[in-house]
């Protein structure tokens, strides 16, 4: 059994996440492996057992990328690779990045690709499944050794059997990950991380276009404009979104 797990970070302390309308400030030192990715790695390690292998990949850049790989390696994965390029995490580059990652993973004999289910991570899993011709199972909350899986729906669970090769997005509650030990983390920090350049041609990437012609203020500042809410309501009415 050969499993690839694509890991990413999330903010550990929401207090350090601040927005100012047009900008989002992340504090890189607060970004660690996300809970759902921990579950994905734990699940992968458990399924792989003694005879299988779990390889880690990340699209996170720089120190955050290395950090999430260290955390995941300490949980029992065998190898780690970081994809470097021109901001492959940018949603606008998601398809291009997935295409390049698929090219890299193709023909490597993976039975499963697990991805933690965090808001914003869904496209990569879907693109990977499409590009690699793998089956896609989303929002998995349980996976048994005989490949039976469950996903949570609004009115119950969807149960079925995973047909490999497959891409699974894993929910944080799928399994309770064990904390790695300090010796394992220390060993992970010494392990070599492979770097693969994605060489994204961002000129080809889809572009996010903001139409600012209709309203001079697409973004209002609540701190400086006491009537910002009224302006927003007026704009929504003008566009027919609100009646």
Partner 1 sequence: MALQYTEQQREYIHLAQEFGDKYLKPELISKWDKAGECPKEAFNPAFDLGLHMLEIPKEYGGAGLSFEDSALVFEKLAEYDAGYALTLITSFVALRCVMISGTPDQARRFADILKPGKFAAFTLSEADSGSDSGSLRDTAVRKGNEYILNGEKAFATNGGVADVYIGVFRTSNNGNHGLSAFMIPRDTPGIYVGKHEDKMGLRLSNTVPLFFKDVHVPVENLIGKEGKGINIALNSLNLSRAFVSTLTVGIMQRALDEAGNYAVKREQFGQPIANFESVQNMLADMATSVETARLLVNNTMKMMDKGSLVRKEGAMTKLFVTDVAQKVTSDAVQIFGGYGYTRIYPVEKLMRDVKGFQILEGTNEIQRMTIAREVAKEYAKE
- Binding footprint of partner 1 on the chain (CB under 8 A): 12, 29, 32, 63, 66-67, 70-71, 178-183, 185-186, 189
Shortest distance in whole angstroms from residue 232 CB to partner 1: 29
Cα dihedral across residues 164, 74, 12, 56: positive or negative: negative
222 contacts: CB under 8 Å, gap ≥ 6: 228, 229
CB of 102 to partner 1, least distance (A): 30
Nearer to partner 1, 15 or 243 (CB): 15
Separation CA 161–CA 178 (nearest Å): 26
Crossing angle (nearest 10°) for helices 62-74 and 35-48:
40
Which one, 116 or 180, has the nearer CB to partner 1? 180
Rounded distance, CA 172 to CA 142, Å? 10
**How far apart are CB 13 and partner 1 at their closest, in Å?**
10
Please state, as a whole number, how many other Cβ atoms lie within 10 Å of the Cβ of residue 16.
Answer: 13
Nearer CB in complex with partner 1: 40/96? 40
Whether the CB-CB separation of 4 and 114 falls below 8 Å is answered with yes
As measured in angstroms, the least distance from the Cβ of 189 to partner 1 is 5
CA distance 117 to 6: 11
User: Which lies closer to partner 1 via its Cβ, residue 71 or residue 82?
Assistant: 71
Q: Are strands 79-84 and 194-197 parallel, antiparallel or unpaired?
A: parallel
93 contact partners, CB below 8 Å, separation of at least 6: 86, 87, 200, 202, 205
Shortest distance (Å) from residue 58 CB to partner 1 = 15
Nearer to partner 1, 181 or 206 (CB): 181
Q: Residue 67 or residue 100: which is nearer to partner 1 going by CB?
A: 67
Q: How far is the CB of 110 from partner 1 (least distance, A)?
A: 27
């Amino acid at each position: 059994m050969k499993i690839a797990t694509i890991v990413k970070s999330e903010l550990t302390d929401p207090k350090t996440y601040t927005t100012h309308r047009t900008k989002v400030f992340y504090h890189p030192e607060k970004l660690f492996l996300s809970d759902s990715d921990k579950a994905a790695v734990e699940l992968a390690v458990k399924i792989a057992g003694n005879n299988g292998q779990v390889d880690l990949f990340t699209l996170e850049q720089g120190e955050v990328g290395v950090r999430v790989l260290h955390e995941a390696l300490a949980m029992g994965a065998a190898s780690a690779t970081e994809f470097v390029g021109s901001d492959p995490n940018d949603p606008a580059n998601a398809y291009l990045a997935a295409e390049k990652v698929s090219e890299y993973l193709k023909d490597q004999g993976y039975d499963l690709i697990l991805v933690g289910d965090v808001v914003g991570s869904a496209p990569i899993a879907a693109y990977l499944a499409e590009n690699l011709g793998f089956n896609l199972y989303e929002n998995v909350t349980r996976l048994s050794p005989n490949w039976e899986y469950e996903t949570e729906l609004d009115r119950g669970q969807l149960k079925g059997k995973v047909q490999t090769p497959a891409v699974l997005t894993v929910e944080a509650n799928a399994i309770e990950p064990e904390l790695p030990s300090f010796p394992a983390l220390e060993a992970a920090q010494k392990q070599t991380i492979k770097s693969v350049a994605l060489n994204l041609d961002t000129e080809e990437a889809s572009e996010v276009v903001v139409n600012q012609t209709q309203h001079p203020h697409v973004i209002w500042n609540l701190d400086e404009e006491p009537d910002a809410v009224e302006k927003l309501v007026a704009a929504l009415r003008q566009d027919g979104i609100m009646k």
